[in-house]
Chain A
Amino acid sequence: MRRFTTLAMLMTAILCIPAVSSRPAHAAETPVYGGTVRVVSYWKVRSLDPAKSTSGYDHNYLFSLYDTLVDLTPDLKPAPGLAKRWETPDPRTVIFHLQENVTFQDGTPFNADAVKWNFERHMNPATASVQRSDFVNVERIDVLDPRTVKLVLKTPASQLLLLLADRGGMMVSPAAVQKHGKDYGTKYAVGTGPYRLISNRPDEKVEMEAYPGHWRKKNGGPPFLDRLTYFIVPDDATHVLMAENNQADFVFAVPAQDVDRVKKNADLTLLRMVGARTRTIGLNATREPLTKRKVRQALNYAVDRKALAQVIDFGYAVPAVTYIPPSHPVFNKALAPYPYDPAKARQLLREAGYPDGVTVPIALHNAPDRLQTIQAVEAMMKKAGISLDKAVIEPVRVSQRMVSADYTMMLTEWAGRASPLLTLQLNFTPESGYGGARNTHDDAKDVDKLIKAIDATPSPREQEKLFHEVQKLIADRALDLHLTHPDILHAVRKNVRYTMYGDGKLRLGHAWIAK
Chain B
Amino acid sequence: MPFLVRRLASTIVMLGIVSVMVFSLMLLMPGDPVKLMLGEATTPELEAQVRQDLGLDLPIHVRYVRWIRDALHWNFGRSIRTQEYVASEAWLHVGPTFEIGVLALGMSLVFGMTLGCVAAYRRGSLWDSGATIGAVVGVCVPHFWLGMLLILFFGAQLGWFPIQGWVRWEESPVGSLKTAFLPALTLAMGLTAETARMTRSAMVEVLNEDYIRTARSKGLSEFLVVTKHALRQALVITATTVGLQIGRLIGGAVLTETIFAVPGLGRWVAEAVFFRDFLVVQFAVVMTAMVVLAVNMLTDLLYALVDPRIRYGTTS
Which residues of chain A are within 8 angstroms of B292 by Cβ–Cβ distance?
A: none
- How far apart are A417's CB and chain B's nearest CB, in angstroms? 10
In the complex, A244 has a CB within 8 A of chain B: yes
In the complex, B18 has a CB within 8 A of chain A: no
Which residues of chain B are within 8 angstroms of A160 by Cβ–Cβ distance?
A: none
B 138-175 binary contact with A (CB < 8 Å = 1; else 0): 00000000001001100110010011111000000000
Q: Are A231's CB and B82's CB within 8 A?
A: no
In the complex, A460 has a CB within 8 A of chain B: no
A 318-355 binary contact with B (CB < 8 Å = 1; else 0): 00000000000000000000000000000000000000
Which residues of chain B are within 8 angstroms of A231 by Cβ–Cβ distance?
A: 164-165, 261
Q: Are B164's CB and A238's CB within 8 A?
A: yes
B 250-287 binary contact with A (CB < 8 Å = 1; else 0): 00000000110101000110010011100000000000
B 44-62 binary contact with A (CB < 8 Å = 1; else 0): 0110011001000000000
In the complex, A23 has a CB within 8 A of chain B: no
Which residues of chain A are within 8 angstroms of B50 by Cβ–Cβ distance?
A: 128
Q: Are A202's CB and B82's CB within 8 A?
A: yes
Q: Are A235's CB and B83's CB within 8 A?
A: no
Q: Are B159's CB and A245's CB within 8 A?
A: yes
In the complex, A367 has a CB within 8 A of chain B: no
Q: Are A245's CB and B41's CB within 8 A?
A: no
Q: Which positions 54-95 of chain B face chain A at CB distance < 8 Å?
A: 78, 81-84, 89, 92
In the complex, A403 has a CB within 8 A of chain B: yes
Q: Which of A129-137, A170-178, A265-273, A283-291 contacts B (4 or more CB under 8 A)?
A: A129-137
- How far apart are B38's CB and chain A's nearest CB, in angstroms? 6
Q: Which positions 223-256 of chain A face chain B at CB distance < 8 Å?
A: 231-235, 237-238, 241-242, 244-245, 247
Contact of A433 among B40, B159, B163 (CB under 8 A): B40
- How far apart are B220's CB and chain A's nearest CB, in angstroms? 52
- How far apart are A131's CB and chain B's nearest CB, in angstroms? 7
The total of chain B residues at the interface (CB under 8 A) is: 45
CB closest residue in chain B, given A243: B163
- Once bound together, how far apart are the Cα atoms of A281 and B58, in whole Å? 38
In the complex, A204 has a CB within 8 A of chain B: yes
Which residues of chain A are within 8 angstroms of B159 by Cβ–Cβ distance?
A: 245
Contact of B92 among A126, A128, A201 (CB under 8 A): A201
CB closest residue in chain B, given A402: B40
Q: Are B42's CB and A399's CB within 8 A?
A: no
- List 7 additional A-B contacts (Cβ < 8 Å) besides A235-B258, A238-B261, A400-B36: A130-B38, A203-B267, A203-B271, A233-B261, A241-B163, A396-B274, A397-B31
27 contacts between A and B (CB under 8 A): A40-B164, A46-B81, A54-B39, A54-B41, A125-B46, A128-B46, A128-B53, A132-B46, A133-B41, A133-B43, A186-B84, A202-B84, A202-B263, A203-B267, A203-B271, A204-B263, A233-B164, A233-B165, A235-B258, A242-B163, A242-B164, A244-B156, A247-B165, A394-B274, A403-B42, A433-B40, A433-B43
